[in-house]
């Protein structure tokens, strides 16, 4: 289950890649624009500001997220079941495809289905080898839930570029350095991860085991990401791909 309030804890840091991604989309007057895995829809709203004449819609599999979305064309749905309509000119998907097994095959089929002049833009985290995720897998294994901590559900930019051969591809990676303030008892990287990567672990543990897991992972994160000058430096690699048809 997604908790919109927990996910929004680091809203500024999480929204920046969305704007960096959309800035590389050159569509001028698209007919329909879709945001796949739109979450609670705030960022989808900025697409309507950029393309005021477009029909902008958002799809997300979480009813909790969609319930928080304001006015607009938002619906609960699975990315895996989605296909572009005949007037879909722009597909945006930000920080969602890492949750969708087989998304590479879907990207290829969307690129094949988009009309000439169409755009496909995606961003996924590329930090599965970072200490945060290595420690998550380590502690999850010790708590008997290693199977829910995924190794590396995404590819490198060059792999996505090869996958989308035949389109004009702009693929890159950026490592953001988030300076997370130390403002509570919990380590800030633990608080960050609770909004996303820790959700499956939490769902797999009973409340007492989850409290122990949290304390154990928090201690190891504090060693890997020490606090200094009132914050913790948290490097976060992200992978971007924009294809125009
Ligand atoms: C990290 S949030 C990103 C939300 C939003 N795109 C943003 O940038 O703030 C990931 C979202 O993907 C959604 N999601 C995960 N798997 C999905 C699927 N198979 N179909 C639709 N949405 C999915 C989740 O419900 C969640 O809202």
Q: What is the mean pLDDT of residues 11-26?
A: 94
Residue 126 three-state SS? coil
State the pLDDT at residue 7: 66
State the pLDDT at residue 183: 85
Domain 4-244 has CATH 3.40.50.300: no
Q: Answer yes or no: is the C-beta of 78 below 6 A from any ligand 1 atom.
A: yes
- For residue 37, what are the CA distances in angstroms to 74, 89, 206, 226? 10, 17, 28, 33
Q: What is the mean pLDDT of residues 163-172?
A: 98
Beta strand segments in 13-67, E:
32-36, 55-60
Centre of ligand 1 to C-alpha 37, Å, is 4
Instruction: Kindly state the DSSP code that residue 198 receives in the 8-state scheme.
Output: T
Q: Answer yes or no: is the C-beta of 80 below 6 A from any ligand 1 atom.
A: yes
Q: Answer yes or no: is the C-beta of 34 below 6 A from any ligand 1 atom.
A: no
Q: Answer yes or no: is the C-beta of 39 below 6 A from any ligand 1 atom.
A: yes
Centre of ligand 1 to C-alpha 227, Å, is 30
Band (pLDDT 50/70/90 cuts) for residue 217 is very high
Token digits for 179?
Answer: 């300076």
State the pLDDT at residue 149: 83
Beta strand segments in the chain, E:
32-36, 55-60, 73-76, 88-94, 119-125, 168-181, 227-228, 231-244
State the pLDDT at residue 184: 81
State the pLDDT at residue 2: 65
Band (pLDDT 50/70/90 cuts) for residue 171 is very high
Atom of ligand 1 nearest to the CA of 93: 6
Q: Whose CA is nearest to atom 9 of ligand 1?
A: 39
Rounded mean pLDDT of the chain? 94
Q: What is the mean pLDDT of residues 35-59?
A: 97
CA distance 155 to 149: 17
Q: Which of 183, 213, 173 is nearest to 197 (CA)?
A: 213
Centre of ligand 1 to C-alpha 69, Å, is 13
Q: Answer yes or no: is the C-beta of 57 below 6 A from any ligand 1 atom.
A: no
Per-residue pLDDT tens over the stretch 70-105: 889 999 999 999 999 999 999 999 999 999 999 999
């Amino acid at each position: 289950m997604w908790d919109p309030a927990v996910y929004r804890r680091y809203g500024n840091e999480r929204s920046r890649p969305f704007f960096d991604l959309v800035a590389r989309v050159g569509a001028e007057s698209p007919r329909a624009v879709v945001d796949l895995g739109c979450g609670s829809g705030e960022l989808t709203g900025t697409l309507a500001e950029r393309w005021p004449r477009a029909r902008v819609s958002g799809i997300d599999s979480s009813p909790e997220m969609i319930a928080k979305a304001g006015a607009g064309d938002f619906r609960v749905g699975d990315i895996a079941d989605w296909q572009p309509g005949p007037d879909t000119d722009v597909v945006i998907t930000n920080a969602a495809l890492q949750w969708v097994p087989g998304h590479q095959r879907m990207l290829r089929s969307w690129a094949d289905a988009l009309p000439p002049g169409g755009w496909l833009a995606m961003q996924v985290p590329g930090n599965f080898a970072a200490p945060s995720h290595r420690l998550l897998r380590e502690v999850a294994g010790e708590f008997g839930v290693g199977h829910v901590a995924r190794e590396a559900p995404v590819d490198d930019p060059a792999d996505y570029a090869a996958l989308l051969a035949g389109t004009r591809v702009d693929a890159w990676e950026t490592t953001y350095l988030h300076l997370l303030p130390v403002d509570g008892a919990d380590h800030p990287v633990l608080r960050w991860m609770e909004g996303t990567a820790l959700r499956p672990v939490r769902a797999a543990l009973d409340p007492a085991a989850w409290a122990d897991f949290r304390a154990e992972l928090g201690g190891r994160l504090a060693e890997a990401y020490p606090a200094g000058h009132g914050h913790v430096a948290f490097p976060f690699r992200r992978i971007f791909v924009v294809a125009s048809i």
